[in-house]
Amino acid sequence: MPEFTLWDIVRNLLLAARWTVALSFIAFLGGTVFGLLLLLMRLSGRRVLERLVGIYVQLFQGTPLLMQLFLLYFGLAVMGVNTSAWLAACVALTLYASAYLTEIWRGAVAAIPRGQWEASASLALSFGQQFRHIILPQALRIAVAPTVGFLVQVVKGTALASVIGFVELTKAGGMIANVTYEPMLTYACVAAMYFVLCFPISLYARALERKLA
């Protein structure tokens, strides 16, 4: 039977951690783009669109991410898409992130006094111009700390992709634990790596919060 050193465990976990980082980036970027789209829909003033986005947010915030992953994993297959764990995880985490981000940003926009919209409207700016030049710069200041804070949720959320078989940090940890018969050490290493990824982001979010408050 081969002997495994601590370095063997850590090295293989580090290799897998690349996928956790990649998945986090894709989900956060995708969520940002899609979330911004949803935000514009919600601010458009059309009742139907506002309602739809509201339901979308409720749906994603009121159900477990794990079930969303399963649903997409099997749903994409039913719809005839040749699906993989990687694709399903990317899509599910993007949708999940977009729902939370759009809600955070809606709060930030709502915090801008009504008069700002009215003043810019009275200067004959279009909706797009009002949003882009007047509202966005102010809302961004409010939104940045919670947005960075949410990134931690995304990184932690990627751990669930292990359940549908995507080999990232958590899944690799499970496989290594099975081979080495050292689950405690392995999962402690896994947890430590998530901590190293997440804690600086948490600290940064907190610092931003303090600076902008």
Partner 1 sequence: MPLQLDFMSILVQWPLLLRGAAWTIALTAIATLLGGMLGIVCAWARAGGPRALRWLVGGYVEIIRNTPFIVQLFFIFFGLPELGIRLSPMTASILAMTVNLGAYATEILRAGIEATPRGQIEAAESLALTKAQVFTRVVLPPALKKVWPALVSQIVIVMLGSAVCGQISTEELSYATNLIQSRNFRAFETYIVGTLSYLGLAILVRNLLYWAGPRFLFGR
Q: What are 187's two structure tokens?
A: 């999962």
131 contact partners, CB below 8 Å, separation of at least 6: 40, 43
HSE-CB for 195 with a 13 A CA cutoff: 6
Nearer to partner 1, 116 or 209 (CB): 209
- Applying CB under 8 A, which part among 9-17, 58-66, 82-90, 131-139 lies near partner 1? 58-66
Q: What are 69's two structure tokens?
A: 């992953």
Nearer to partner 1, 25 or 127 (CB): 25
Nearer to partner 1, 37 or 59 (CB): 59
- Interhelix angle 6-43/183-212, rounded to 10 degrees, is 40
Nearer to partner 1, 4 or 187 (CB): 187
Size of the site for partner 1 (CB under 8 A): 40
CB of 131 to partner 1, least distance (A): 28
Q: Is residue 71 at the binding interface for partner 1, with CB under 8 A as the rule?
A: yes
Q: How many CB atoms lie within 10 A of CB 19?
A: 19
Q: Is residue 156 at the binding interface for partner 1, with CB under 8 A as the rule?
A: yes
Burial grade of 18 (CB within 10 A; 0-12, 13-18, 19 or more): exposed
Q: Is residue 191 at the binding interface for partner 1, with CB under 8 A as the rule?
A: yes
For residue 44, give the 3-state DSSP assignment.
coil
Q: Which of 22, 41, 66, 208 binds partner 1 (CB under 8 A)?
A: 66
Residues belonging to the chain: 213
Q: Is residue 4 at the binding interface for partner 1, with CB under 8 A as the rule?
A: no
Element housing 21 (H / E): helix 6-43
What is the sign of the dihedral through the CA atoms of 117, 120, 125 and 130? negative
Distance CA 105, CA 93 (A): 18
Q: Is residue 97 at the binding interface for partner 1, with CB under 8 A as the rule?
A: no
CB of 192 to partner 1, least distance (A): 8
Q: Is residue 75 at the binding interface for partner 1, with CB under 8 A as the rule?
A: yes
Q: Is residue 174 at the binding interface for partner 1, with CB under 8 A as the rule?
A: yes
List residues near partner 1 by CB under 8 A: 58-59, 62-68, 70-71, 74-75, 77-79, 152, 156-157, 159-160, 162-163, 170, 173-174, 177, 182-184, 186-188, 190-191, 194-195, 198-199, 202
